[in-house]
Amino acid sequence: MFERLPSHWMIALKKVGYWIWLIPVFGIPLSYYWSLGSAHADAWAWLVITVVFGVIPLLDFVVGRDPANPDEREEVPALEAQGYYRLLSLATVPLLLAMLIWSGWIFVSYPAWSWVGQLGWVLSVGTVMGAIGITVSHELIHKDPRLEQNTGGLLLAAVCYAGFKVEHVRGHHVHVSTPEDASSSRFGQSLYAFLPHAYKHNFLNAWKLEAERLGRRGLPALHWRNELIWWYAISALFLLGFTLAFGALGALFFLGQAVMAFTLLEIVNYVEHYGLHRRKLDNGRYERTNPHHSWNSNFLLTNLFLFHLQRHSDHHAYAKRRYQVLRHFDDSPQLPNGYAGMIVLALFPPLWRAVMDPKVRAYYAGEEHQLSESQLT
């Protein structure tokens, strides 16, 4: 639909289009208000998660792709200098936290929902906190300013996954697409085999990396300068606040949305690197990360929702680039749909392998030995 528009038109369109993140955030209260007095109140609680994983994958095909890249010499410096894009990402934080607290109050006080409606509400809120909250936190923790670092950490604390702040930057980006990375899924590995391993090792890896950082300064791991202690303490304060304000059900709501949010994150990790790997060089090191080591998805709609997260190939090759200037590479491996559709596909391993395994094999055509070695690791 937009594939033939000139690059500068697309940049202008996306400058406004990034505000599309407001739709799922406001979709939460909207689904509640539409359930008031409805004979199908439980169904309305599932509205957001249904739209995200049922409607958006179809709309991705209708809206189409965005092949436009900003000009490196003229447009990129101008875009990076605009504080608008930084403020846009920071603006998500107060609205997301307000939505989270309000949703907890609705969860415990709205009598029209059975457990089915309550489950749909938790999953819907967790979807917004994962899809928007963790995506924004991912953007922020890669940046140097302390405000962005701390704001990204706060969003992660709100879903009890603060270890991502440490492990993603210092672990995943170093070891991506190698056997050492718990967030890079192997060829032939199902989502359900990947998730437990990712939960465990990413948590442990974060503590290991932070202990190593402190050790280089001559400090013990359990020291007040260990940032994980502070971020997990904030998560504990969130939990305490929800418990004191809304009781045991409030605590259940907070933990439930957090599990949904960080599970969504790890499913995205599964999708982003499935079957891809960096070759080991003669000196025992792995080749430098480049745009070929991450799956790219250039569907315009989900890229607007996710602040260009799906231009993941460029992000891993140049992690400091801000979302508004991330590029599409035609020669990087391409996903057949946006992340929403690929997440649904990953939930069904036989379908996932039927679609993705031929793509991995085609990508390594002529180097099948690379693929077999990757499968054995």
Nearest to 157, CA basis, from 204, 89, 96, 102: 96
Percent of the chain with pLDDT over 90: 81
275-323 pLDDT per residue, tens: 998 888 888 788 888 888 899 999 999 999 999 999 999 999 888 899 9
The DSSP secondary-structure symbol of 299 reads: B
pLDDT at 376 over 50: no
Among 46-55, 180-189, 285-294, top mean pLDDT goes to 46-55
Lowest-confidence region among 23-27, 205-209, 262-266, 330-334: 330-334
What's the whole-number average pLDDT of the chain?
93
Domain residues of the chain, as ranges?
7-376
- Model pTM? 0.94
The residues, any chain, with a CB within 8 Å of residue 165's CB and separated by 6 or more, are 137, 141, 152, 153, 156, 206, 227, 231
Structure tokens at 175: 């070891």
The residues, any chain, with a CB within 8 Å of residue 239's CB and separated by 6 or more, are 160, 251, 254, 255
193-220 pLDDT per residue, tens: 999 999 999 999 999 999 999 999 999 9
Side chain identity, residue 345: L
Confidence class of residue 159 from pLDDT cuts 50, 70 and 90?
Answer: very high
Residue 370: the pLDDT is 59
Contact 302, 338 (CB under 8 A): yes
Lowest-confidence region among 6-10, 118-122, 152-156: 6-10
Sign of CA dihedral 333, 192, 262, 213: negative
Contact 217, 202 (CB under 8 A): no
Nearest to 242, CA basis, from 117, 112, 102: 102
The whole-angstrom separation of Cα 152 and Cα 159 is: 11
Q: What is the mean pLDDT of residues 43-47?
A: 97
The whole-angstrom separation of Cα 36 and Cα 139 is: 36
90-99 pLDDT per residue, tens: 999 999 999 9
Residue 375: the pLDDT is 47
Residue 371: the pLDDT is 59
pLDDT at 377 over 70: no
Q: What is the mean pLDDT of residues 237-241?
A: 98
- HEC readout, 207-232: HHHHHHHHHCCCCCCCCCCCHHHHHH
Residue 357: the pLDDT is 94
The whole-angstrom separation of Cα 112 and Cα 102 is: 17
**Residues in the chain, overall count:** 377
pLDDT at 222 over 70: yes
Q: What is the mean pLDDT of residues 142-171?
A: 96
Structure tokens at 353: 């392998």
CA–CA–CA angle 227, 231, 236 (5° rounding): 140
The whole-angstrom separation of Cα 172 and Cα 184 is: 8
**At 162, is the secondary structure helix, strand, or coil?**
coil
